[in-house]
Homo-oligomer: A and B are copies of this chain.
Amino acid sequence: MISETTLRVRYAETDAMGVVYYAHYLTYFEVGRVEFLRQNGLPMADVDRKLRMPVVEASVRYLRPARLDDLLRVRSWIGERKRASFLFRYEIRHAETSELIATGETRHACWHPETERMIAIPSWLEGLLTPEAPESPDEGRP
């Protein structure tokens, strides 16, 4: 399952070089991740009460700059699932030209808000975190 969402680059997200500031791609990834969960029946407000999924690693590859008012498409999918952590992968493209802007991933652990401890991925969540076969679902795409 690959989720898609679009967002428009805000003034607040550009920097003095006229392009999206590099940290905001992690925010765009989060927007993608939250939509992935919502489209799988898990609105974020619910998730937060049952389980926290802190990011333990994140990385971004910046391919082309995004600019003010660009409409971007964020695609998010599960890249890997281990016993106690899982990996989200993302790609960001211009919504109109499909040009690739950035790719990246975030690794998450599971943390129980009541016991305040790291836990294995709970069984109710496992089915949702099924890794996609290809590394990138867009391989071979123009």
Interface residues of A (CB under 8 A from B): 10-12, 14-19, 21-24, 26-27, 30-31, 34, 43-45, 48, 52, 54-62, 65, 67-69, 106
Contacts of A58 on B, CB cut-off 8 Å? Answer: 22, 59-60, 62
Contacts of A45 on B, CB cut-off 8 Å? Answer: 67-69
Q: How far is the CB of A25 from chain B (nearest CB, A)?
A: 8
Assembled-state Cα–Cα distance A22/B11 (Å): 10
Once A59-B60, A62-B57, A69-B45 are accepted as A-B contacts, the answer to whether A21 and B12 lie under 8 Å apart by CB is yes
Q: Are B62 and A54 in contact (CB under 8 A)?
A: yes
Q: Are A31 and B10 in contact (CB under 8 A)?
A: yes
Chain B residue nearest in CB terms to A38: B69
Chain B residue nearest in CB terms to A61: B57
- A-B pairs with beta carbons under 8 Å apart, 19 shown: A10-B34, A11-B21, A12-B23, A15-B16, A16-B16, A17-B52, A17-B54, A22-B30, A22-B58, A22-B106, A23-B24, A23-B26, A23-B27, A45-B67, A45-B68, A45-B69, A57-B59, A57-B61, A59-B59
